[in-house]
Amino acid sequence: AAEEALVVPPVNDFEMHNLVSEFPGTVRTAKFAGKVQLIVFFRSDDPASRGVIADWNGLQKDFAARGFTVVGAIVDDRHDDLIAPEVAALGAEFPVGHADAAVVAAFGGPPAIRAIPTYFLLDRDGRIAASYAGFAPLARLREDLDRLLDGLPLAGPAGEAAP
């Protein structure tokens, strides 16, 4: 019998409490529909994650005009009041929200987020094109972003194939 390909539904919209702005509100990914998105699950109290914020800001600056955005998703059981000051101190130039169980489930649940950080690269249709557990090499992310933004398939394995 032929194996059937696993069909992963697009991650078209999810909502998180906004941790970047001092104004109350939410991060809604439907706002970024039609864009390539890099969803980064990380912790604001993780020194290694804090160390790569500048790289993520650089991706945002370099690729935004081509239809790209970074979206940070904090995975932490602590209350927003404790996390928000840490996030504010990061200097993130992209939306960062507090990922609840529903957001984590949209990406395959806790088993899919095997490391901090874990990245999910979404194509313009909201489908997971690639995932990267741990720190993805910046050169590889840039290469994969260039290809997706040009409407091309990814060249070879990118961290891990989409589920």
* Cβ atoms of residues 71 and 40 within 8 Å: yes
Helix (H, G, I), strand (E, B) or coil at 42: strand
- R_g over Cα of the chain: 15
Residue (of 45, 60, 29, 21) closest to 122 by Cα position: 29
User: What's the pTM value of the predicted model, to 2 decimals?
Assistant: 0.86
- Euclidean distance between CA atoms 45 and 147, whole angstroms: 32
Predicted local confidence at residue 94, as pLDDT: 92
Whole-number Cα distances in Å, 36 to 11, 45, 71, 146 = 12, 27, 11, 10
Q: What tens-digit pLDDT sequence spans the chain (163 residues)?
A: 444 444 455 777 888 888 876 555 788 888 888 999 999 999 999 998 888 999 999 999 999 999 999 999 999 999 988 999 999 999 999 999 999 999 999 898 899 998 999 999 999 988 899 999 998 899 999 999 999 999 998 875 544 444 3
Strand 36-42 relative to strand 118-122: parallel, antiparallel, unpaired?
antiparallel
Q: Which two tokens stand for residue 117?
A: 């950080």
Predicted local confidence at residue 9, as pLDDT: 59
- Euclidean distance between CA atoms 119 and 105, whole angstroms: 15
